[in-house]
Amino acid sequence: MSDQQKHRVVYVSHPASGLARSNFPLVCHVAGSRIVRSLPYYIPEDVKLYEIKTSRGVFTRPRKEVQMPLAYAWKQRVHSGTRVRYPLLRDDWSPDNPNPAKRGSSGYSRISWDRALDVVVGQINRIREKYGSMEPVLVQADGHGQSGYLQSLHFWGHYLFDMIHERLGWGWWTQQVRNPDSWEGYYWGAKHVWGFDSTLGEPPQDAVWDDVLEHAEMVIFSGNDPEATGLGMSGSIALEMPKWLKRAGIKIVAISPDLNYSAAVQADKWIPLKPNTDSALYLALAHTWIVEGLYDKDYVRTHTVGFEEFKRHVMGKDDGIAKTPAWAAKITGVPSHTIRALAREWASKKTSVSVYFGGPKVRGSLSHLVTRLEAYVLAMQGIGSPGRQFLRTGAPSFYKNALAQVPRFPEVDKHGIAMNPMIEYAIGKGPKSPVFIPRTLATEAILSPSIQWRGTSAALAKTEDQFNRYRFPPNDDHPGIRMVWNENGSQPGSWGYGFKWLEALQSSKIEFVLGVHPWFENDIPYSDLILPAQTHFEHQDLIAVQRSDLLAMFYQEQAIEPVGESKSDFEIHRMIGQRLGLDEVFPPADEWLRSAYEGTLASTKLGITWEEFKKKKSIVYDCPTWDEWVEIKKEHGFGPHDGGLHGFWSEAGGLETPSGKIEFVSSRIAALDPENAERPPLAKWIAHSELQGSRKSQEYPLSVVSNHPRFRFHVQGDDIDWIKEIGKVRGPDGYMYEPCWIHPSDADVRDISDGDVIMVHNERGAVLVGAVVTERIIPGAVSIDHGAKIDLVQLKGKLIDRGGCINLITPSPLEKYGVGEEIKIPEMTVSGFLAEAVKIDVSEIVASTGVGHGSTVSG
Amino acid sequence: MTYLPLLCQHCANAPCIKACPEDAIKRRDDGLVWIDPEECTGCGLCEEACPYDVIYMNGELGIAQKCTGCAHRVDEGALPRCAEVCPHDAIVFGDEADSVFSEDEHGATLEVYHPEYQAEPRVYWKGLPKPWIAGTVVDPVSDEVISDVAITSVDLFEDGSVTALSDEFGDFWIRRMEKGRKYRLEIRKEGYEDFLAIVTTDGDQDLGNVCLKRTR
Ligand code: SF4
Ligand code: SF4
């Protein structure tokens, strides 16, 4: 008997890119309640793939679509020990005595759904009666979650409270606004140089590969790691794109503190530099170009403003410090001869810069300066001219213009797949509720109100919004946050200064914490009530493939019976809505899915009905032929091998900056926030406390680099044994520790050997990790991926994390500002900060009874 | 940097088969070597015998386990799981007679890993890691890298030498050297004194900055 006959074969969404969008699904073989196999998807032979035709060859993608290892291992999470199977009520919580300090250490008891809904609705009513509105409820519903269109979405809390406001008239809620996390530097920085609001400060990717593959001679991977972050978000196309570069004979130069997974196998040259010092490198490149006359002077004259002031700064005419390669060598650790060689290569070869989200550069302290300086050097070399582009190796998440990065029909881009409108709550132009808090300030909103800041931090907000003043609580008699609605379960592991967030959840101000989650992990064990959410194996859904180079839709059948009494995220909110009399705005799932589907080309153009689609289960849209693509491009003003910022290059205007040009000196900052020393009108190298050489670095001399994990997706998947086996360091005590890359010279002076358990610590706390002694990290730095699963223990009387969740000890935006001071840039810092590492004796670790993750569940 | 995914080599002359007192390890007609869990007593002798160290003892079940070549899938006409799920197609599965394993396909014959174990492994490799010698040629006076310099490595005991040119970053990288040999490295550039060094390829050799002295 073949597999097909023995097993039911269902499409299940790629687990972890989330936010209502997905990648190609897994092909799962199911027998009863057992998920036997998860296999890659093959694009059917009758689907027309694109071909990028260039003088260096023809480029396309393979039909096999492989996802990150985590995706295939995800099935182990379905029945894992950490699964929340029933509604769980914290043993020492009661409405009158919430015992907040015990959050994280209490046991839980199983209760019925009926009682659970009573508790939730009871708490909503209590808040309304006591405080007069829903404003004391902080809704955290913007996590990546599992990638379903509807069922596993993390925005339902916002929708529910929006409807409570609109239909019941109970007032606004406090909306947590997701900051542009993986784009921080570009959002708060580069936007002031070149605009690009709708692509979060990174240049749009229209047909960019046609240009790069035809013209580029060198591509700089600036902290870019397609093998890790790219594969996680974009699937295997992220691995294919670097191979295109190689096949086209383009040199890849990786600049990063770590020899990351892509650089290790794809780069022709690795230039290690100290974390968070890219600004100094860029200034020294500019210096060499100015001294040797190696930049595009015509372009600078016609396409930019403010260059003379930048030039003065580079040459040290304003501050007496010439930004020479020798000056930068001391800061960056890159030899001056290498900086000059790079400068000459960059100038003489058509060079593009490539990133894909994170990377150490974009999410460090003051990373907005780095990205502005990056934009300056790109401008000096005429960005937009053939072969000189800004390139994302993977699918862009945000589109500006009509054209995709590779040949696709614009009509398919616009109407091919369903996009859940709920995404607006997390990735919109601004908060729906006038009462809101950026995600980076949620901790402060609880622990130290009142706070004031600038900018909503909404992903698609206009640049001007960064100068608007906001505050929380909105007025002085406001009760502040009293209840937390947590659908994410990711705050302490994906955002910064996580120990403080755990402290905030234990604050006596917080009367009720609701967790909605499939797993008992991260900050979910700090909830008073946990509602059991499902994995995407347990419900039907629509799979909207958007995080790929191709667009497609799949129908996800329910693969197995729900585990325990779990319900989908959608269903949980629907049940709560029904209790509140909001039935009308929560129609059943199939109705939502049908109407979403019926708005797409599959229905409107191809005439495939919803019922037919549910049987057929998949639609992968055809791509245009090269000739059709050339025609499409012509309509949009592009020649066959034009792409990226070609339009700006040929027209020298039309950007979203006040001048319409690239601004070395930001006229908007100069007009609206000129005195901000942290973000001056002209970006400069600014030494700060989280850099080596600062006073703090005497005690904490190591810089921590923290990338998107290779084997997790943010905090997700650390409970999977298969993943632990490949991704962790087994300690002498058998515990699987989070790996920490440390250079042999740094290990030596600390008496650290490969495999030792070490404590990485700073003034914010400590985490335990397993040493990987390697030359793949620059001396003076350590690399620990973000988001390991938290596991609090005692060591010498101190509460520390054995799980190695480095985000627990990253800086808070508030550290840079005094109490009560306005937070001018509520940026997130999760990489490029200081710490020290010391070897520890594992026999001294005391698994603390009753702390967070040792909690018991009875019933 | 090289990664080497090491799985059972499905040896034609398998030490594990010889070591197993229960005859629990069998070779199928297609060459896949597998451990019959019904017959395995968990004595652990095969684990010790396997020179590639790819047998694992399953303490829970009390048996030895290893890669089966996904024989159950192969029988259904499917690929082994590792080959199917590798996004880079770095693992290819098929009959030894298939053209993908031929010399024509690769421009060289494929190698086996550790032939000296004499286990006649049937996993074939392309690009098995070999030692390299690398460095950056620098003029310390001008603080500039030196491009286009010829770097020659001369094998001290066998005939033959290899020459590489330093690139725009001053970097040179002589790859695929033989292990455990002694080489004389010669860097000659007009205007500079000759640079000579003896390098032993015990492992990869990164010479870092190689500074050339100017001739007076
Ligand atoms: S590699 Fe080891 S386990 Fe595999 S056949 Fe050879 S000796 Fe046996
Ligand atoms: S193919 Fe199957 S049997 Fe072979 S290594 Fe992979 S998992 Fe093991």
Q: Where are the alpha helices (DSSP H) in B93-189?
A: 103-106
Average pLDDT over residues A574-599: 97
Chain B residues within 8 A of A342 when measuring between CB atoms: 169
Phi, psi of A238 (to 5 degrees): -65, -25
Q: Is A239 in contact with B88 (Cβ distance < 8 A)?
A: yes
**Distance separating alpha carbons of residues A622 and A794, to the nearest angstrom:** 57
With tokens 């793949």, the residue in question is A776
- The number of C-beta contacts closer than 8 angstroms across A and B is 50
Q: Which tens digit of pLDDT belongs to each residue from B146-180? A: 999 999 999 998 888 999 999 999 999 999 898 89
pLDDT of residue A850: 45
Longest CA span, chain B:
79
Closest to A336 (Cβ–Cβ): which among B3, B143, B170?
B143
Instruction: Check residue A533 and report its DSSP letter.
Output: B
With tokens 């907005």, the residue in question is A368
Going from the Cα of B41 to the center of ligand 1, the distance in angstroms, rounded, reads 18
**Distance separating alpha carbons of residues A780 and A692, to the nearest angstrom:** 9
Q: Tell me if residue A190 falls in helix, strand or coil.
A: helix
Residue A158 banded pLDDT, cuts 50, 70, 90: very high
Q: What CATH number does domain A88-178+442-538+568-600 carry, 1.10.3720.10, 1.10.220.110, 3.40.50.740, 1.20.140.10?
A: 3.40.50.740
Which residue on chain A is closest to B143 by alpha carbon? A337
> Facing residues of A10 across strands?
A28
**Distance separating alpha carbons of residues A329 and A315, to the nearest angstrom:** 16
CB under 6 Å to ligand 1: residues? B 8-11, 14-16, 33, 50, 52, 54-55, 66, 119
CB under 6 Å to ligand 2: residues? B 7, 67-70, 80-82
Q: Which amino acid is at B56?
A: Y
Q: Which tens digit of pLDDT belongs to each residue from A295-342? A: 999 999 999 999 999 999 999 999 999 999 999 999 999 999 999 999
Alpha carbon distances (Å) from B214 to A621, B135, B143, B147: 64, 19, 12, 15
Alpha carbon distances (Å) from A194 to A191, A373, A648, A828: 5, 12, 11, 22
Is pLDDT at A180 greater than 70 in this prediction? yes
Chain A residues within 8 A of B136 when measuring between CB atoms: 338
Chain B residues within 8 A of A326 when measuring between CB atoms: 143
For an interface test with B, which of A233, A252, A337, A775 has the most B Cβ atoms less than 10 Å from its Cβ?
A: A337
Structure tokens at B202: 């015990």
Q: Which tens digit of pLDDT belongs to each residue from A542-559? A: 999 999 999 999 999 999
Going from the Cα of B128 to the center of ligand 2, the distance in angstroms, rounded, reads 20
Is pLDDT at A191 greater than 70 in this prediction? yes
Closest to B171 (Cβ–Cβ): which among A259, A264, A269?
A269
Is pLDDT at A845 greater than 80 in this prediction? yes
Phi, psi of A844 (to 5 degrees): -90, -5
Q: Is A66 in contact with B87 (Cβ distance < 8 A)?
A: yes
Q: Tell me if residue A125 falls in helix, strand or coil.
A: helix
Q: Is A345 in contact with B168 (Cβ distance < 8 A)?
A: yes
pLDDT of residue A780: 98
Chain B residues within 8 A of A335 when measuring between CB atoms: 138, 209
Continuous segment of H or E residues that includes residue A667: helix A667-672
Distance of residue A337 Cα from the nearest chain B Cα, in angstroms: 5
Going from the Cα of B100 to the center of ligand 1, the distance in angstroms, rounded, reads 23
Q: Which residues contact A815 (CB under 8 A, 6 or more apart)?
A: none
Which residue on chain A is closest to B134 by alpha carbon? A269
ipTM confidence:
0.94
pTM listed for this prediction = 0.96
**Distance separating alpha carbons of residues B16 and B35, to the nearest angstrom:** 10
Chain B residues within 8 A of A236 when measuring between CB atoms: 87
Going from the Cα of B68 to the center of ligand 2, the distance in angstroms, rounded, reads 6
Alpha carbon distances (Å) from A445 to A513, A547, A620: 15, 33, 45
CB B189 within 8 A of CB B169: no
Q: Is A337 in contact with B138 (Cβ distance < 8 A)?
A: yes
A53, A61, A256, A74: which is closest to A717 by C-alpha?
A74
> Facing residues of A217 across strands?
none
Q: Whose CA is nearest to atom 6 of ligand 2?
A: B82
Q: How many CB atoms lie within 10 A of CB A732?
A: 12
Going from the Cα of A232 to the center of ligand 2, the distance in angstroms, rounded, reads 23
**Distance separating alpha carbons of residues A211 and A384, to the nearest angstrom:** 9
A548, A671, A676, A565: which is closest to A86 by C-alpha?
A565
Q: Which residues contact A604 (CB under 8 A, 6 or more apart)?
A: A415, A598
**Distance separating alpha carbons of residues A326 and A316, to the nearest angstrom:** 14
pLDDT of residue A851: 41
Which residue on chain B is closest to A67 by alpha carbon? B87
Closest to B145 (Cβ–Cβ): which among A2, A239, A341?
A341
CA A381 to chain centre: 29
Closest to B170 (Cβ–Cβ): which among A72, A231, A341?
A341
Distance of residue B27 Cα from the nearest chain A Cα, in angstroms: 23
Question: CB under 8 Å, gap of 24 or more: what pairs does A62-66 form?
Answer: A62/A236, A62/A240, A64/A40, A64/A236, A64/B87, A65/A23, A65/A24, A65/A40, A65/A41, A65/A235, A65/A236, A65/A548, A66/A40, A66/A235, A66/A236, A66/B85, A66/B86, A66/B87
In chain B, the N- to C-terminal Cα span, in Å, equals 40
Closest to B84 (Cβ–Cβ): which among A39, A326, A776?
A39
The b-or-e profile of A429-453 (16+ CB within 10 A means b, else e) is: ebbbbebbbbbbbbbbbbbebebeb
Q: Which tens digit of pLDDT belongs to each residue from A13-60? A: 998 888 888 999 999 999 998 999 999 999 999 999 999 999 999 999
- Report which ligand 2 atom has the smallest distance to the Cα of B81: 1
Longest CA span, chain A:
80
Q: Which residues contact A43 (CB under 8 A, 6 or more apart)?
A: A24, A49, A63, A64, A65, A550, A620
Which ligand is the nearest neighbour of the Cα of B72? 2
The CATH 3.40.228.10 portion of chain A extends over 182-394+637-672
Average pLDDT, chain B: 94
Q: How many CB atoms lie within 10 A of CB A256?
A: 28
Measured CB to CB, residues of chain B less than 8 Å from chain A are 1, 3, 76-78, 84-88, 136, 138, 143-145, 147, 168-171, 209
Structure tokens at B113: 């890993």
Average pLDDT over residues B138-153: 97
Burial of A654 (0-12, 13-18, 19+ CB in 10 A): exposed
Q: Which amino acid is at A726?
A: I
Closest to B1 (Cβ–Cβ): which among A64, A264, A344?
A264
Structure tokens at A164: 């409570």
CA B76 to chain centre: 31
CB B152 within 8 A of CB B175: no
Q: Return the CA Rg of chain B.
A: 24
Burial of A844 (0-12, 13-18, 19+ CB in 10 A): exposed
Is pLDDT at B88 greater than 80 in this prediction? yes
**Distance separating alpha carbons of residues A206 and A418, to the nearest angstrom:** 21
pLDDT of residue A858: 44
A3, A151, A146, A142: which is closest to A75 by C-alpha?
A146
CB A235 within 8 A of CB A371: no
Burial of A148 (0-12, 13-18, 19+ CB in 10 A): buried
Distance of residue A155 Cα from the nearest chain B Cα, in angstroms: 32
Which domains occur in chain B, in start order?
A: 15-117 (3.30.70.20), 133-211 (2.60.40.1120)
From A417-426, A622-631, A736-745, B49-58, the region with the lowest mean pLDDT: A417-426
CB A208 within 8 A of CB A391: yes
**Distance separating alpha carbons of residues A79 and A34, to the nearest angstrom:** 10
B71, B28, B26, B23: which is closest to B43 by C-alpha?
B23
The b-or-e profile of B175-190 (16+ CB within 10 A means b, else e) is: eebeeebebebbbebe
Chain B residues within 8 A of A264 when measuring between CB atoms: 1, 3
CB B174 within 8 A of CB B164: yes
Q: Tell me if residue A39 falls in helix, strand or coil.
A: strand
Q: Is A66 in contact with B86 (Cβ distance < 8 A)?
A: yes
Q: Whose CA is nearest to atom 2 of ligand 1?
A: B50
With tokens 């708005």, the residue in question is A599
pLDDT of residue A400: 61
Q: Is A264 in contact with B171 (Cβ distance < 8 A)?
A: no
**Distance separating alpha carbons of residues A369 and A685, to the nearest angstrom:** 7
Give the residue, A143 or A402, on which the prediction is more confident.
Answer: A143
From A134-138, A279-283, A387-391, B155-159, the region with the lowest mean pLDDT: B155-159
**Distance separating alpha carbons of residues B110 and A522, to the nearest angstrom:** 48
Give me the DSSP letters along A422-474: GGGGTSSSS-SSSSEEEGGGHHHHHHS--EEEE----TT--GGGGG-EEEESS
**Distance separating alpha carbons of residues A546 and A234, to the nearest angstrom:** 9
Q: Which CATH class is domain A696-854?
A: mainly beta
- Give the architecture-level CATH label for domain A182-394+637-672: 3-Layer(aba) Sandwich (3.40)
Q: Whose CA is nearest to atom 6 of ligand 1?
A: B11
Distance of residue B202 Cα from the nearest chain A Cα, in angstroms: 18
Give me the DSSP letters along A131-186: HSSSTTEEEE-----S--SSTT-S-HHHHHHHHIIIII-----EEEEPP-GGGHHI
The CATH 2.40.40.20 portion of chain A extends over 696-854
Q: Which tens digit of pLDDT belongs to each residue from A687-702? A: 999 999 999 999 999 9
Residues in chain A: 859
**Distance separating alpha carbons of residues A282 and A255, to the nearest angstrom:** 11
Average pLDDT over residues B110-138: 95
Distance of residue A396 Cα from the nearest chain B Cα, in angstroms: 20
> Facing residues of A204 across strands?
none
Q: Which tens digit of pLDDT belongs to each residue from A745-795? A: 999 999 999 999 999 999 999 999 999 999 999 999 999 999 999 999 999
Is pLDDT at B102 greater than 90 in this prediction? no
